[in-house]
């Protein structure tokens, strides 16, 4: 990906829809392109613009985003267009701008309780189930692709560039979450591919430093898991997740059981944590309601 | 699903060629035979622009992509560059056929309508038959980078296991042994174990005869043709039908 002469202050002029966006701030860069915070010069609205010279990737991403607009955790899609900057052709999509931190930053700043981590895992798991039903795999799951939306108070999954049809080769991946890098399967898209990466995400969040990143040795990782102190059910689920001997749907079901029974760890418990947990787990659906029930149910039973 | 055949050479080097002719001419030669030449330059410390001008020139002459990469990122670069070549090749074939139907390219279809063609291109890429010859610099300066370079080749092969199409990789080292300019480390194969054992024996030392290596790769790729019968896309039914647009 070669992007020349695009930077803060550049104004991109849409070829098809004729809207103008001024790039305000670089939000991120990845294999496919760059994401900028940008302002629409006509309505003065602030949006996120993902721009690239790779027409193939951005078109696929844009179509997936449009197809799954009913999933609240995905960004709202505004429009897709092309532009020319300094005689070079670029292609871009405009999405809602999400105010908040990605999970990496959240971990660094205030941390997450075990229950919040399981809740996040559950929300992602349910979202991935929807993708799987439509014959797609998320692919590139990682902390950087997850944000806590301050304004709407929900978890957001922000980068759909890795979404791949089941049966195809996974082209966008991050080593730590990619089972092929661990010699635990091939880099082909299937439900178990997502299972491995979701499991890795949850394990990494729950037990910092347990993941042996120097040599990507799956047996070493599994040994550390078996030695680590944790509820038996959780241990079984995590182990099955890495070995991919459990169906994705069943994994999510087990995760939910564990989540419902999980106590807050005493040292992490605090009022703000409780509020944060409730807020971030509200997805305006049965899941949110269940989360509330679990939280308040426990609080009441503590009296 | 129609199978498109893509032949590519990936030149992996950490410096300028200094023996055996012009690699740029060799790359032009490759393109004339429908072989794309990509080039990856391994950055160490203290290299300057001049050092890698040649990388750009080789890739441009060979119709391929170029990248500068650090040693640790070599595996990713190799995969990225091979994938890009597959995409670009299919794009230009499809683009040419599109011109006949709509008198334009994919960018002339509006963003909300191009999904169908893009997904079709994706399928073609997924089922493409790819012959990838990695031409790896084994000169003296590569001594500290050899093990990562070997690992990256294995990474590339690992990646291709997930693909539906028929991918085979060959490896040529330059310079060769006993005064030879090149050495075939392994001919075309999809057997990662076979390549692994041969790669083990690779040692660094000597000059950098890049051009000779590219020429050798061209021969290897052309020999593949004698073993399997290929359909020449230009002479058969077009990939793009009117209803797709």
Q: What is the DSSP string of B132-169?
A: EEEEEE-SGGGGGGHHHHHHHHHHHHHHHTT-SS-EEE
Tell me the angle at which helices A191-206 and A248-261 cross, rounded to the nearest 10 degrees.
30
How far is residue B224's CA from residue B245's CA, in Å, rounded to a whole number? 35
Interface touch A56/B83, C-beta < 8 Å? no
Interface touch B121/A56, C-beta < 8 Å? yes
Residue-wise pLDDT tens digits, A246-292: 999 999 999 999 999 876 553 333 334 444 555 555 545 556 566 56
CB of B72 within 8 Å of any CB in chain A?
Answer: no
How far is residue B122's CA from residue A168's CA, in Å, rounded to a whole number? 9
Yes or no: is domain A11-96 CATH 3.30.470.20? no
Helical (H) or strand (E) element with B130: strand B129-137
Identify the top-confidence range among A192-196, A262-266, B45-49: A192-196
A164-165 and A136-137 beta bridge pairing = antiparallel
What domains are defined for chain B?
5-244 (3.40.50.410)
Catalytic-residue membership of A217: no
> Which residues lie closer than 8 Å to A152 by C-beta, 6 or more apart?
none
CATH of domain A100-302: 1.10.510.10
Size of interface A-B (CB pairs under 8 A): 62
How far is residue A59's CA from residue B115's CA, in Å, rounded to a whole number? 6
Q: Which of the four pLDDT bands, split at 50, 70 and 90, describes residue B231?
A: very low
Nearest CB to A188 within list B79, B118, B162: B162
Are A12 and A47 in contact by the 8 Å Cβ rule? The answer is no
How far is residue A172's CA from residue A161's CA, in Å, rounded to a whole number? 7
- Residue ranges of domains in chain A: 11-96, 100-302
Distance from CA of A12 to the nearest CA of B (A): 16
Give the residue ranges of DSSP H helices in chain B: 23-32, 49-61, 74-102, 115-126, 146-160, 192-200, 210-227
Location of structure tokens 């001024």: A22
CB of B114 within 8 Å of any CB in chain A?
Answer: yes
Are A195 and A248 in contact by the 8 Å Cβ rule? The answer is yes
How far is residue A288's CA from residue A282's CA, in Å, rounded to a whole number? 4
Residue-wise pLDDT tens digits, A195-254: 999 999 999 999 887 888 778 899 999 999 999 988 899 999 999 999 999 999 999 999
pLDDT the model gives residue B46: 59
Mean pLDDT, residues B136-140 taken together: 90
pLDDT the model gives residue A282: 52
B129-137 and B167-174 beta bridge pairing = parallel
Whole-model pTM?
0.82
């Amino acid at each position: 990906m070669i992007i020349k002469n695009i930077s803060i202050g550049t104004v991109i002029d849409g070829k098809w829809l004729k809207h103008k966006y001024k790039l305000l701030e670089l939000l991120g860069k990845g294999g496919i392109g760059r994401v900028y915070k940008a302002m629409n010069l006509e309505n003065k609205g602030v949006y996120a613009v993902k721009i690239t010279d790779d027409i193939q990737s951005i078109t696929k991403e844009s179509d997936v985003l449009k197809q799954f607009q009913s999933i609240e955790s995905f960004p709202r899609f505004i429009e897709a267009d092309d532009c020319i900057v300094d005689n070079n052709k670029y292609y871009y999509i405009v999405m809602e701008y999400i105010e908040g931190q990605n999970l990496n930053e959240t971990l660094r700043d205030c941390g997450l309780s075990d229950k919040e981590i399981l809740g996040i895992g559950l929300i992602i798991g349910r979202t991935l189930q929807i993708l799987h039903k439509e014959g797609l795999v998320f692919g590139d799951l990682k902390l950087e692709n997850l944000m806590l939306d301050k304004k709407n108070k929900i978890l957001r999954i922000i980068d759909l560039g890795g979404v791949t049809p089941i049966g195809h080769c996974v082209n966008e991946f991050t080593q730590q979450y990619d089972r092929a890098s661990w010699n635990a399967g091939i880099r082909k898209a299937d439900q178990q591919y997502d299972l491995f990466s979701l499991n890795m995400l949850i394990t990494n969040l729950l037990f910092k430093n347990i993941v042996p990143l120097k040599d990507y040795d799956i047996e070493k990782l599994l040994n550390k898991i078996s030695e680590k102190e944790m509820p038996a059910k959780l241990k079984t689920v995590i182990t099955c997740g890495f070995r991919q001997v459990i169906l994705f749907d069943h994994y999510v079901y087990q995760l939910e059981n564990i989540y419902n029974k999980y106590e807050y760890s005493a040292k992490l418990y605090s009022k703000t944590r409780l509020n944060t947990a409730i807020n971030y787990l509200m997805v305006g659906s049965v899941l949110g309601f269940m989360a509330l029930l679990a939280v308040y149910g426990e609080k009441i039973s503590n009296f | 699903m129609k199978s498109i055949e893509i032949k590519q050479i990936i030149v992996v080097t950490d410096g300028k060629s200094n023996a055996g002719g012009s690699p740029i001419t060799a790359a032009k030669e490759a393109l004339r035979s429908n072989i794309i030449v990509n080039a990856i330059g391994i950055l160490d410390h203290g290299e300057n622009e001049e050092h890698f001008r040649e990388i750009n020139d080789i890739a441009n002459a060979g119709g391929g992509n170029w990248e500068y990469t650090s040693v640790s990122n070599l595996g990713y670069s190799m995969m990225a560059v091979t994938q890009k070549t597959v995409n670009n090749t299919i794009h230009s074939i499809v683009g040419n056929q599109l011109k006949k139907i709509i008198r334009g390219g994919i960018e002339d279809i509006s963003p909300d309508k191009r999904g169908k063609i893009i997904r079709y291109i994706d399928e073609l890429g997924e089922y493409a038959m790819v012959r990838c010859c990695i031409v790896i610099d084994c000169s003296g300066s590569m001594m500290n980078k050899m093990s990562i370079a070997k690992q990256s080749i294995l990474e590339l092969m690992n990646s291709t296991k997930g693909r539906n199409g028929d991918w085979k990789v060959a490896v040529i080292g330059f310079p060769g042994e006993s005064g030879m300019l090149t050495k075939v480390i392994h001919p075309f194969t999809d057997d990662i174990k076979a390549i692994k054992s041969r790669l083990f024996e690779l040692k660094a030392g000597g000059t950098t005869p890049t051009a000779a290596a590219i020429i050798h790769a061209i021969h290897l790729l052309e020999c593949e043709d004698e073993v399997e019968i290929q359909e020449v896309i230009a002479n058969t039914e077009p990939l793009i039908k009117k209803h797709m647009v």
